[in-house]
Amino acid sequence: MIKVGIVGGTGYTGVELLRLLARHPNVQLQAITSRKEAGMPVAQMFPSLRQHVDLAFSTPEKAALSQCDVVFFATPNTVAMQEARALYAAGVRMIDLSADFRLPNIAEWEQWYKAQHACPELVAQAVYGLCEIHREKIRSARIVANPGCYPTAVQLGLWPLVRAGVVDTEHLIADAKSGVSGAGRKAEINTLYAEASENFAAYNIAGHRHLPEIKHHLSHATGQSIGLTFVPHLTPMVRGMMATLYARITKETDFQALYDTAYTHEPFVDVMPMGSLPDTRSVRGANTCRIGLHRPHHGDTLVVLSVIDNLTKGAAGQAVQNMNLMFGFEETAGLDLVAVVP
């Protein structure tokens, strides 16, 4: 049994972490922090957790995070890096769901996130937590940078192709759509019901912060230069993500067999039969990436459909999967979830 702390337990990824960790057979929830809600029982804010979580929110100072075995940061960008140095010195392992440790190039990180990094010396210690690609490194990691939701869907969808060298890696296209929960629980005009409902819109076409993350880690994992056009969209649904990926074929192969082989032993990647149409509802609330392949008109372009739940496989579920690897638990522990339909 390990002692677990969560920094920032009031957002959507925080409550998703609580939902998963509360039923984990090897976890004792030790502390959940929130400065604004300190003293409030967690189940008062989230009644779904009644009879599952009996803790109250506490301030970080009173949470005794240094006594935990692992601490999750379900916080906005730039928070984890402020607290990482002290926890690292105390021997606490960390899983950061923000972007503070995802880019190894500090100058590039500071350019995209418009802030000075608070602990650049620890960035080199962080392991990128895409389990299907970096499993062995994650096992011994002290700091895990949990991937973003868009990067998870896009990388899992493209990795077998770029690794095999059978597509043009300089001209990849990712047309991706996310549910509104991906924007977080904060109040913003564009995520108000009257703004997001019955609407569909692209955003950040000129440059989304997840673009350098996707390009760097795909390139690092495959040893190939990556050129990617990435266009994110906001869809009028609460949770779910679909990435429609386009790659020009440069070498003929059995693409279905390529994906089947790449993910044959992966518990959380489901490669469907050629021509299948995975949808977001089929992964709602589950830690699953579901993939379907298409080759329209038998032409030179392969279309890959990759769907995840942005809060589960795209955030909290993947974080728990990382924790399981770090502590030698069964990788599926606490994550044997069937999607919620309808």
* Tens-place pLDDT, residues 85-111: 999 999 999 999 999 999 999 999 999
* Tens-place pLDDT, residues 205-217: 999 999 999 999 9
State the pTM of this model. Answer: 0.96
Neighbours of 266 (CB within 10 A): 15
Please give the Cα distance from 71 to 6 (Å, whole number).
Answer: 6
What is the mean pLDDT of the segment spanning 308-336? Answer: 98
Please give the Cα distance from 340 to 16 (Å, whole number).
Answer: 14
Per-residue pLDDT at 183? 85
Nearest to 1, CA basis, from 27, 32, 19, 22: 27
On the 0-12 / 13-18 / 19+ scale of CB atoms within 10 A, 264 is: exposed
Spell out the domains of the chain, with CATH numbers in brackets. Answer: 2-124 (3.40.50.720), 150-309 (3.30.360.10)
Please give the Cα distance from 27 to 155 (Å, whole number).
Answer: 29
Residue 329 has pLDDT above 90, yes or no: yes
Average pLDDT in the chain: 96
Choose the catalytic residue: 68, 119, 149, 289.
149
Examine the residue annotation and report whether 289 is marked as an active-site residue of this protein: no
Quote the crossing angle between the two packed helices 149-164 and 255-262, to the nearest 10°: 120
Per-residue pLDDT at 189? 87
